[in-house]
């Protein structure tokens, strides 16, 4: 009887959620059709309202992320809240210019017409965000969707449950659900319910490659266009001409922030053999300098999001002979310490799967061909990092390896610049986000040609007679 009761209750919950989705979708269609979202004044007001909401909820966001990840307040502000403010400031300062029609050239045969490109809102959009940076990766696409003049349904990951709940409260308090709303629930069920049953004018998904494929397949049912921000094994190259002290600190920070649960974290190191031993020593010292001799006690080192991720990442440590630093774990605390591996095999899981945790394999190389061979085993990384003081070397790697974006002598920070597009290539993603690139993702170009009536060339009208000779002259 208890099992039957639970099944009935679950069916009732799903039925109610399905009805809510139907109601919200319908109300957002009506709201967009009303034209309220089209004006610059409206969009600016909503962006300012979002900024006000973020400011009011800063404390609750930090508390929620501590519960989800054990993140420090500094890390929450630096990687989650701060970038949202940066995006808001950038978009608010640029939006009026982005919305202006752009004049383009018009071919001579169509004189005296003039040609313009207008950007218009798409309509109803769906944004699905991941658990690893749940606030940042939800709010920044939302900012450009608002700037584009759309209505928005937000679907956060249920895995980062505390942060999801706080975002739901914030959106509910500051926005009408007919304009912007957030729907919680099991991602597999909710996502399928929305994408399979309703046409969205755009679906923006950030998450794994496997789920991205499912999203794209479901979206094809209604020909909904998609942006997919996925992942991939992002290599980090340490050239023999790198500033090793500088590189060690940057690698330690960019790899172990959020306990390595970053889609563009360095996934493995390719270190030139001439400097490998020296660099490893400096990297160990950098890690210890940041997190102490016992990172578990550090207030600045995060935890795995859940038991499943703990089990997956800790499985990479099965061969103790590969561990050259760290390797300590605590299942009860979901803790995995900063770990360096050496002697990994290309066919090991740690080299075939995106790690998404504080485990960093170190591989040595002698020539550039070895670098290409290693990277080509997992094509199209989302990011690439090269540490070198040789401009020719930096240019060689960045121009000859296909990747989404990256840095020379730094890590992760390219995501913080809203003037740079963020996106993958091939299996690491489709489409772009951030700043103007995000605005263009959530709008479309509408082509318009305007013809004044003071002149009307008779060339185009029958009877054509000898007009063909003039037509040839004009087009040639």
Catalytic positions, written as ranges:
229, 263
Closest CA to 404 of 378, 377, 432, 435: 432
Task: Give, in degrees to the nearest 5, the angle at Cα 93 between 91 and 96.
Answer: 85
What 3-state class would DSSP assign to 469? helix
Contact 303, 294 (CB under 8 A): no
What 3-state class would DSSP assign to 181? strand
Pairing between strand 339-342 and 359-365? parallel
Partners of 325 in beta bridges: 340
CB neighbour list of residue 273: distance below 8 Å, 6 or more residues apart: 364, 365, 366
Q: What are phi and psi of 347, to 5 degrees?
A: -90, 0
User: Token pair of 402, please?
Assistant: 């296909």
Cis peptide before 463 (omega within 30 of 0): yes
Based on DSSP, count helices (H) and strands (E) in the chain, helices before strands: 16, 18
CA–CA separation, 223 and 210 (whole Å): 20
CA–CA separation, 366 and 374 (whole Å): 12
Residue 246, Cβ neighbours under 10 Å: how many? 15
CA–CA separation, 45 and 35 (whole Å): 15
CA–CA separation, 436 and 373 (whole Å): 35
CA–CA separation, 232 and 267 (whole Å): 9
Burial class, 350, CB count within 10 angstroms (exposed 0-12 / middle 13-18 / buried 19+): buried
């Amino acid at each position: 009887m208890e099992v039957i009761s639970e099944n009935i209750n679950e069916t009732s919950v799903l039925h109610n959620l399905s009805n809510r989705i139907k109601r919200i979708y319908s109300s957002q269609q009506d709201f967009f059709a009303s034209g309220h979202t089209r004006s610059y004044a409206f969009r600016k007001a909503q962006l300012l309202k979002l900024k006000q909401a973020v400011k009011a909820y800063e404390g609750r966001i930090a508390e929620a992320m501590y519960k989800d990840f054990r993140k420090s307040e500094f890390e929450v502000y630096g990687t989650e809240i701060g970038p949202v403010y940066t995006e808001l400031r950038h978009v608010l300062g640029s939006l009026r210019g982005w919305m202006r029609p752009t004049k383009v050239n018009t071919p001579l045969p169509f004189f005296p017409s003039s040609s313009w490109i207008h950007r218009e809102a798409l309509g109803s959009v769906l944004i699905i965000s991941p658990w690893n940076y749940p606030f940042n990766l939800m709010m920044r696409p939302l900012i450009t969707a608002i700037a584009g003049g759309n209505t928005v349904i937000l679907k956060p990951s249920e895995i980062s449950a505390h942060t999801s709940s706080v975002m739901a409260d914030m959106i509910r308090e500051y926005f009408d659900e007919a304009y912007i709303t957030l729907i919680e629930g099991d991602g597999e069920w909710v996502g399928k319910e929305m994408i399979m049953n309703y046409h969205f004018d755009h679906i923006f998904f950030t998450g794994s490659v496997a789920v991205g494929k499912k999203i794209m397949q479901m979206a094809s049912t209604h020909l909904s266009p998609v942006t997919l921000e996925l992942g991939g094994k992002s290599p980090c190259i340490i050239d023999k001409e790198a500033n090793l002290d500088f590189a060690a600190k940057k690698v330690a920070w960019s790899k172990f922030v959020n306990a390595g649960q970053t889609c563009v974290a360095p996934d493995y190191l390719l270190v030139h053999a001439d400097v490998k031993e020296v660099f490893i020593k400096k990297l160990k010292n950098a890690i210890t300098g940041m997190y102490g001799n016992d990172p578990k006690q550090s207030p600045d080192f995060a935890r795995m999001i859940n038991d499943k991720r703990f089990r997956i990442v800790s499985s990479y440590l099965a061969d103790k002979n590969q561990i050259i630093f760290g390797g300590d774990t605590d299942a009860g605390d979901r803790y995995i310490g900063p770990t360096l591996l050496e002697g990994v095999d290309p066919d090991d899981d740690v080299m075939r799967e995106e790690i998404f945790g504080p485990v960093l394999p170190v591989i040595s190389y002698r020539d550039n061909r070895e670098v290409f061979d290693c990277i080509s085993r997992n094509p199209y990384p989302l990011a690439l990092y090269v540490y070198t003081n040789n401009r020719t070397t930096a240019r060689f790697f960045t121009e000859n390896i296909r990747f989404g974006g990256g840095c020379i002598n730094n890590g992760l920070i390219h995501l913080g610049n809203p003037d740079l597009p963020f996106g993958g290539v091939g299996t690491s993603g489709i489409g772009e986000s951030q700043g103007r690139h995000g605005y263009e993702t959530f709008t479309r170009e509408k082509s318009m040609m305007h013809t004044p009536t003071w002149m009307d060339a008779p060339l185009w009208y029958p009877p054509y007679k000898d007009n063909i000779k003039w037509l040839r002259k004009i087009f040639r």
